[in-house]
Amino acid sequence: MSKLATTDPKELLPLLHERIDQCSPEELEAVRKTLLQFELNRLMETVGEACDEAAARGEMAPEKIAAALREHRARHPYR
């Protein structure tokens, strides 16, 4: 059985580091893309939860969004 089959984070992290150190440039690019996808998924979940919470508080109403945009544009005018 592969050492990477372990689920203990204390054992897995050094094993993953070792494997990454042995990757070819092409494999490293695939690892990078996979990590970026994980990050995107995490951010999408966080944003989705924040939107759900804001909607539950009534902060996603069109008039509230328009007011927030006006306030932002007043503080940060485009040139």
Residue type, 44: M
Q: How far apart are CA 65 and CA 9, in angstroms?
A: 43
* The residue to which tokens 């509230």 are assigned: 64
In the predicted structure, residue 34 carries a pLDDT above the cut 70? yes
Give the whole-number percent of the chain exceeding pLDDT 90: 77
Residue that wins the pLDDT comparison between 76 and 2: 76
Please give the structure tokens belonging to residue 43.
Answer: 């951010």
pTM: 0.63
Using the structure block, give the residue that is written with the tokens 């040139």: 79
19, 4 Cβ separation under 8 angstroms: yes
